[in-house]
Amino acid sequence: MRWILLLLLAGCSTPWQAEHLEPYPNPFGPADVGWAPQPNRDNPQEIAVVGHRAFVTLPGSPDEPGSQIAVINLNTGGVSRIGVGRSPTGIAAHPNGRFVFVANRFSNYISVVDVGLQTEIQRLPSDFYATELAFSPDGRELWITNRWRDAVAVWQLREVGRGFEVTDRFEPGVPVGTNPRDLAMSEHGTTVAVASITGLTVSVIDRASRTELHRLDLGAPANDVLFVGEHLIVATTSASTHHHAFAGPDTDGDGRPGDGTPNINFADLQNELAVYNLATGELLHRYTSDTICCRDYRDVDPGDAARLGELLPPEDTWIVGGSLPEQLTWAHGRIWLSYSASNELQSFTIDPEDGALSPGPVLDSGGHNPHAIVGTEDGLLVTHRLGETVGVFDSAGAFDRSIPVGDLSGGAFPATDAEIGELFNFVTAPFTVDGDGSCTHCHREGGNIDKAFSMPLTRRVGVGLRQTMAYRGAADSRPWFFESGMDETNFVPVMNELSRIENFCCSDYTLWPSGPPAGCSENPPPECFDEANPGSIDGAVATRPYEFAPDRPTLEPTRDAFYEARIESLIGRSESYGDGLFWEDPVTGTKRALDLDFDGITRALGLFLLQEPNLLPNPNEADRGSVRRGEAIFNSGATGCVACHPAPSFSLSTTTRGDAGLPLVMRPVVTPLRAEDGTNLDLFAQGFVDLFPAVEQDDCEDVCGADCEDNPSVCDDLRDVAFGVTPLRGIWDRADGMLHHGRARGLREVLCTPGHPALLPGEVGFNEVDGIPDSHGGTSHLSPAEIDDLIAFLETL
């Protein structure tokens, strides 16, 4: 009888099984122009040091995830591998020094690795997308950030034999901002800080009560957090949205238009360190990378009263020397910081009383795309995420050597044209005139940060805005961006923002309206060294009201020369390999490599985005009742969702749908962003429309006829623009801010009509155009439960 009972009980529970998420199939294949085989890469990311060994996670990419960690013997330099779960990201050494724990984002477990045995000894079941780990000082508690759950889980641990038992699980855990990644625990273990790279916040959590004490709103991605005494240091970027200080939407929440900062567009993109009082959550200092750099209208100097230069941060706060503050550590009595977008490192000392930072020199990181930085007994280790190596430095930050830990069997990075594009994507700063910006400032890890920016394509420069779009699944959103006007070869207005052409003497069409003098590039005339830039002309004609500093930001006389010099210094070549990026004679089929000038680098980046879609595998279970019900609603004629969002990309405006005469665009399905006077702030600059024939916008004359002759803006309240259809694949991982203006907070607000009963208190239904509901699909007839079902389905795509 007892045996029968035991068998029955056993049958009631399913034993836990290890599961792994599978990558999405890559729609870009051998039949596509530019496709080429790519080498495998391991992308070394995080490090944990135990004694004389350094353990390094090797996550690979979402398309080709790895399943190993590397172990460096710091005495000998030897490297070995240990198998763990799929796409290991975070790693932490247990305080007892005998184990390291590894978070495997694409597996449903955390690996426990025995340091002595050099092997995975245990798999502790977890949610998928466990990302980073932090132990309490006594080793009895483990905190785990989870990108999928937007939470930090807490496990109680007990050592049992040669392993661990999880005696209590608090899961999903403490809710935090969108896409938490890094976390840190204070010295005595009383406080935990969790950084959200998409949600732009840091959650400060009381460890004992597991309650959030403060939600620090950075207005920018929180890349890493570090406790130093009574202070919390946050690696971040600028809070600005690149608008004029006091014009356009109120994007800094101060009740006034604009973002409160005078620089606009990409000149407003900075790199920052924030210092908080741990006890109160008060911001004590915010250091920045601002510079007086550029010869174009976007950059404002502190002394420029006419353009509100006094609103810039004080110059004594301009101490952040590199681009994209990525990871922080405390070692050898200093704060150390890696800059992933400029291949640099920097250290800072901190005043223990007031938290003020003093900068050390900016140092070369010794490899491409530095990520983790950790201290050892006598120095520092830095992962080179793209370089596939770990850099070894002395305690003063002097580079000693690199140790290969990743996969270099396909050649040193970059070994292909797509990898050249990948390098530019992640290490963009050398190609910018101010050394500040990068693609990954806004497209963190290929996603989209929760922020809408002023972009150079809008009619009202520094006033209109667009929500950041995810890079992941770029093939799904091709032609790119909301406008569906640009493709992988011609997104030049965005690239122009990084290094506007007016900054290069012989390229400066504002200095030389009739063209530069003959031989300008080879023998730059005196004006190149002593003439102020007279202005910038692209819809925002602006002049500097004073003589600008004569030094141009670069030595190169043209932008192409600048690009070629920068890529040459980074990788030792200035033309493509020709495997994916080449010129081809249409008649003879002859091919040759391309110069890596402005156009060549633009194409390399486009090629990378297609070659490596990097869509994160979806962890949401599709075989559920709510999902099936939601799918039926999605496919029903009553909602009409599937008409514009058909599989596989769940968009009509994409070439992955079979090349059916694209791009496809349509009139706005939600109310445009409007100024108080009714002006449609979504309107494109006419020059942008001219440059991209696929972009659609009502002509003034068609709406208001002859009145436009006297005033081209007379109908800016009536004109509309057309948008493409946003792909839904991967939407589960995107920022909360949705629609072209980013105003909808999550799918519920996107789907619901105004006043829909499914809306939660404070939520707004955006499914309307100027008061007419159901303009973005029929949803007003759906019950709250049906809305939930529809959302459940969308999150499985």
Partner 1 sequence: MRSSDFLVLPLLALLLGCPGTDDDDDTTPFDCSLGVWNEDGSWEDLDGADVELIFGFQGFLWISVQVEADAGGPDFANILFSAEVGDDDPFGGSVPNVPFTAQDGARRSDEVQVRLDNDEGPEPFIGETLHLAIRGRAGARECTAEADMTLRDDDPCLHTDDEPVCPDDDDSADDDDSGR
Residue 356, interface with partner 1 (CB under 8 A)?
Answer: no
- Residue 258 makes CB contacts below 8 A (sequence gap 6+) with 243, 244, 245, 246, 247, 248, 249, 250, 251, 252
Distance (Å, whole) CA 768 – CA 485? 24
Size of the site for partner 1 (CB under 8 A): 92
- Residue 196 makes CB contacts below 8 A (sequence gap 6+) with 150, 176, 177, 178, 179, 180, 181, 202, 203, 221, 222
CB of 36 to partner 1, least distance (A): 14
- Nearest residue to 134 (alpha-carbon basis) of 180, 185, 181, 95: 185
Residue 523, interface with partner 1 (CB under 8 A)?
Answer: no
Q: Which residues pair with 638 in a beta bridge?
A: none
Return the structure tokens found at 124. Answer: 């502790």
Q: Is 491 in contact with 606 (CB distance < 8 Å)?
A: yes
Using the minimum distance from each CB to partner 1, give the nearer residue, 387 or 464: 464
> Using CB under 8 A, which residues numbered 622 to 651 contact partner 1?
643-644
Match 């200080």 to its residue by tokens: 245
Among 159, 217, 364, 599, binds partner 1 (CB under 8 A): 599
CB of 227 to partner 1, least distance (A): 41
Using the minimum distance from each CB to partner 1, give the nearer residue, 303 or 333: 303
CA distances from 299 to 27, 257, 264, 270, 401 (A): 40, 19, 7, 12, 38
Q: Is 241 in contact with 254 (CB distance < 8 Å)?
A: no
Binding mask 28-67 for partner 1 (x = CB under 8 A): --xxxx----------------------------------
Binding mask 501-520 for partner 1 (x = CB under 8 A): xx-x-xx-xx-xxxxx---x
For helices 559-571 and 417-426, the axis angle rounded to 10 degrees is 100
Q: Is 197 in contact with 234 (CB distance < 8 Å)?
A: no
- Nearest residue to 607 (alpha-carbon basis) of 28, 19, 56: 28
Among 72, 357, 641, 665, binds partner 1 (CB under 8 A): 665
CB of 756 to partner 1, least distance (A): 25
CB of 62 to partner 1, least distance (A): 25
Using the minimum distance from each CB to partner 1, give the nearer residue, 490 or 636: 490
- Residue 79 makes CB contacts below 8 A (sequence gap 6+) with 70, 71, 72, 73, 403, 404, 405
Using the minimum distance from each CB to partner 1, give the nearer residue, 446 or 493: 493
Using the minimum distance from each CB to partner 1, give the nearer residue, 374 or 694: 694
For residue 748, report the phi and psi dihedrals to the nearest 5 degrees: -60, -45
Among 558, 574, 576, 639, binds partner 1 (CB under 8 A): 558
CB of 473 to partner 1, least distance (A): 18
Among 356, 542, 571, 769, binds partner 1 (CB under 8 A): 542
Q: Which range, of 184-192, 426-434, 607-615, 691-699, touches partner 1 by CB under 8 A? A: 691-699
Q: Burial code of 172-194, b = ≥16 C-beta within 10 A, e = fewer? A: ebbebbbbbbbbbbbeebebbbb
Using the minimum distance from each CB to partner 1, give the nearer residue, 200 or 463: 463
Using the minimum distance from each CB to partner 1, give the nearer residue, 176 or 665: 665
Q: Which residues pair with 133 in a beta bridge?
A: 144
Residue 583, interface with partner 1 (CB under 8 A)?
Answer: yes
Residue 702, interface with partner 1 (CB under 8 A)?
Answer: yes
Among 521, 620, 626, 635, binds partner 1 (CB under 8 A): 521
Residue 725, interface with partner 1 (CB under 8 A)?
Answer: yes
> Using CB under 8 A, which residues numbered 461 to 480 contact partner 1?
461-463
The helix (run of H) or strand (run of E) holding residue 602 is helix 598-611
Using the minimum distance from each CB to partner 1, give the nearer residue, 11 or 637: 637
Residue 525, interface with partner 1 (CB under 8 A)?
Answer: no
> Using CB under 8 A, which residues numbered 216 to 275 contact partner 1?
244-248, 264
